[in-house]
Amino acid sequence: MNSIRTQVVKIGNSRGVRIPKPFIDQTRLGNEVEIAIQRGTIVIRPLSRPRNGWAERFRAMSEQGDDQLLDKPTPTKWDRSDWVW
């Protein structure tokens, strides 16, 4: 594990640390991060965006014709009696 020594600085009523560029590059930190405490240690990790890139992937699927339903639609009683087009 790489480590360095740095100062904790006052930022308004809070305190902060500067993260060296090589650490940011290596961990791919963006402008937003997630901060947690695990077993008495502060953990800073890239913000998790589970659906990041979905729009581009769906667009590619559509262009390739790979966006069709796998199963035939199965109408329900609600579809037959209550749904209005």
Using one digit for the tens of pLDDT, what is the confidence trace for 30-63? 888 999 999 999 999 888 778 888 999 999 999 9
Q: Strand ranges (DSSP E) for the chain?
A: 9-11, 14-16, 33-38, 41-46
pLDDT band at 17 (very low <50, low <70, confident <90, very high): very high
The answer, yes or no, to whether residue 71 has pLDDT greater than 70, is yes
pLDDT of residue 73: 87
Give the span between the Cα atoms of 25 and 65, in whole angstroms: 37
- Give the mean model confidence (pLDDT) for residues 3-22: 92
pLDDT of residue 3: 84
Give the span between the Cα atoms of 54 and 51, in whole angstroms: 6
Q: Is the pTM of this model over 0.75?
A: no
> Tell me: domain 9-46, CATH 3.90.550, correct?
no
Q: Are strands 41-46 and 9-11 parallel, antiparallel or unpaired?
A: unpaired
Total residues belonging to the chain: 85
